[in-house]
Structure formats: structure tokens, C-alpha cells
Amino acid sequence: MKNAVAAADEFGGVDVMVNNAGVFRAEEFLAEDDEIFDMMMNVNVRGTYYGSRAAANAMVDENGGSIVNLSSAAGLDGSAEFISYCASKGAVRLMTYSLGSLLGPENIRVNAIHPGLIETSMTTEDVPIFGTDEEEGFIGQIPTGRGGTAEDVAKAALFLASDLADYVNAESLVLDGGMTNTQ
């Protein structure tokens, strides 16, 4: 991360950081070995932590910025099927709030996006939903009648990183077509 921040200095510094790395693996909690849990915590939580810290150190020197963390709707409610994933994304949510409190006085805003069903390799390969017989059932639960796209997530991140959101800090933006708040 430090190398990435140093490289960004050549282009004017870091004023926005989007912590977008994330992984998901299906699990059998009672039979789970620690590899799945450790992998999800390392990528989803530690990656966000170290990315945020590297960016924040640069942003303090530059008089502010915006950090956007990708969590998940699964980090809001939990699920008996995806315990490690929910725990890791819940940790990202609470880390976001804590960092918003810590870094707000430094003019650094920290917010989280909680995507729901988004068509990515996670929902076409890791846990196949799109392109399967189950897709219609999932889409039927979403009030907007469609799954999300990577572009939907990018637009939300652009908003949170922009001056249009200059008073938005330590906040969660649920991006799921209305599913979480209407079920």
C-alpha cells in the first residue's frame, strides 16, 4: 500500500481511496477449517485497514480526502449460511464508522457502500446466482426488479468521493435496489 501511495504522489497525491478488494467463499461453519476464515479476514478486513491507513497518512499531509470502503449488505444483517463473510463485512462497516470519527477532524471523510446482489464474478462464479435457475427468485425479492451492476457501485463510490458528499461522513450507503430495507 505504501508503494501505491508513493506512486500516486507522482500524479498529485492521494485524495480518494476506494477499498474495493474483497473475497467470498462458501463455508460449512461447523466443519470449517481456519483457512477460509483467515482468508476472508485478511482480504476483507486487513486489506481495508491497511489501505485506509496508508491513504489517511497521505491525506493528512494533503489536508483531507475521502475513503470509501466496500462492505456488503451481508455486513448489516448476518446470515447463517455465510458467517465468516458477514463477520468480515460487518467489521468493515464498524471500522468505517470508527475511522470517520477519528479522521473527520483531519478533513477526511470515511464512508461505506453495502452492495446487495451485484453481477460480478462473486455472483456468477463463487456463488452462482446470475445465469442460473435461481436468478429469477433473487431478482423477485428486489423492489427495483433487477440486480445491480459494477457500474452502479462505481457511481455510488464516485458520489461519496465527490464534493457533492462533502458533509457525508461515517455513513453507510446500502446499494441493493431497496431489498434490505423492505424485507
Domain borders along the chain are 2-177
- Fold topology of 2-177: Rossmann fold (3.40.50)
What b-and-e string marks burial along 20-48, b requiring 16 or more CB atoms within 10 Å of the CB?
bebebeebeeeeeeeebbeebbeebbebb
What residues form DSSP beta bridges with 69?
19, 112
Looking at residue 75, its pLDDT comes to 95
> What does pTM read for this prediction?
0.94
Indicate if 85 belongs to the active site: yes
- Could you tell me how many residues make up the chain? 183
**What tens digit of pLDDT does each residue of 36-53 get?**
999 999 999 999 999 999
Burial class (CB in 10 A: 0-12, 13-18, 19+), 176: buried
Catalytic residue among 49, 50, 85, 97: 85
**What tens digit of pLDDT does each residue of 101-132 get?**
999 999 999 999 999 999 988 877 878 888 88
